[in-house]
Amino acid sequence: MRIAFIGGGHMTTSLVGGLRARGAAPTDLTVADPVATQRERLQFDFGVHASGDNAAAVRDADLVVLAVKPQDMAAAAASIAAELARRRRVVASVAAGIRIGDLARWLGRGTPIVRTMPNRPALIGAGVTAACAGAGVGPADRAAVERVLSAAGSVVWLADEAHMDAVTAVSGSGPAYFFLLIEALEDAGKALGLPPATARHLAVHTALGAGRMAAEGSEPPATLREQVTSRGGTTAAALAVLERADVRGIFAEAIAAAARRSAELADQYGEK
């Protein structure tokens, strides 16, 4: 499968890096980016073909990945529309807040489109991406897109594009909530007298261990929490403070705000 990436920034770098690490041939991967230094870096690091011409980059591709910033998406899509009209190819977008309907308008109505929402840990292969298929996307197209996305982490499919705003709020913005929690844990450790480096190490590795237990085991997070909370113990004392402050309500409100903002941005980039 030959894959063309439009935009050679962070997201493309992680997808191309992941695909190469999994044995994809460099000759099957082409990246288009307007910046020469960006192209040289990708050529040097991964041996892939890099071009300054978007239409030329997609000409021989079986799958196209659009990986430009949301505000650049209309122009990037328009630059390959004529080429896509010549032959059927599936197009996957990784841009936050760009709807399938808008992509179809820019790329041509017949183009099979998959809208995806990766998150930041994709840059180290530990991301989670939600994907939603538009009209005309078949099982083989889905499998091809999933193969590319899984180079950056796990993939979940959504049946309803309307859920993309919730996905953006939960997993797209989600790493920031965990970074905030790590910061708070580190600061609290320092306030209790721990050396700064020790406080950071404890906070970061506690987050990592808890995440791995939640991901790798079969127990739901609530059970894992109960298992580390003995009655009258230290964890119970901390959780009582968090529950009294309605930490769950605060998170619900914060994530609802992110979902509303996601919908607003999609309106701004495309047609309402």
Ligand X SMILES: NC(=O)c1ccc[n+]([C@@H]2O[C@H](COP(=O)([O-])OP(=O)(O)OC[C@H]3O[C@@H](n4cnc5c(N)ncnc54)[C@H](OP(=O)(O)O)[C@@H]3O)[C@@H](O)[C@H]2O)c1
Would you say 71 and 99 are in contact if contact means Cβ atoms under 8 Å apart?
no
CB of residue 111 to ligand X, shortest distance in Å: 17
CB of residue 271 to ligand X, shortest distance in Å: 18
Within 116-175, the residues that bind ligand X by CB under 6 A are: 118-120, 123
Within 6-45, the residues that bind ligand X by CB under 6 A are: 6-12, 32-35, 38
N-terminal to C-terminal alpha carbon distance within the chain = 35
CB of residue 148 to ligand X, shortest distance in Å: 13
Would you say 59 and 87 are in contact if contact means Cβ atoms under 8 Å apart?
no
Count, residues near ligand X per rule CB under 6 A: 28
CB of residue 152 to ligand X, shortest distance in Å: 9
CB of residue 75 to ligand X, shortest distance in Å: 5
Would you say 71 and 236 are in contact if contact means Cβ atoms under 8 Å apart?
no
Give the residue among 229, 230, 213 at the shortest CA–CA distance from 221: 213
Would you say 130 and 158 are in contact if contact means Cβ atoms under 8 Å apart?
yes
Q: Which residues neighbour 265 within 8 Å (Cβ) at sequence distance 6 or greater?
A: 70, 96, 97
Beta carbon nearer to ligand X, 94 or 199: 94
Within 80-109, the residues that bind ligand X by CB under 6 A are: 94-96
Q: How far is 255 from 124, CA to CA, in rounded Å? A: 24
Backbone phi, then psi, for 64, in 5-degree steps?
-120, 130
Stretch in the footprint of ligand X (CB under 6 A) among 62-70, 102-110, 198-206, 220-228: 62-70
Determine which residue in the list 20, 56, 62, 70 makes contact with ligand X, applying CB under 6 A: 70
Integer CA distances (angstroms), 135 to 46, 73, 227, 271, in order: 33, 20, 45, 18
C-alpha dihedral, 180 to 269 to 12 to 58, nearest 10°: 170
75: contact with ligand X by CB under 6 A? yes
CB of residue 197 to ligand X, shortest distance in Å: 27
Would you say 8 and 50 are in contact if contact means Cβ atoms under 8 Å apart?
yes
Stretch in the footprint of ligand X (CB under 6 A) among 69-77, 187-195, 227-235, 264-272: 69-77
CB of residue 51 to ligand X, shortest distance in Å: 10
Stretch in the footprint of ligand X (CB under 6 A) among 72-80, 159-167, 216-224, 232-240: 72-80
Beta carbon nearer to ligand X, 50 or 137: 50
Residues of this chain that bind ligand X (CB under 6 A): 6-12, 32-35, 38, 54, 67-70, 72, 75-76, 79, 94-96, 118-120, 123
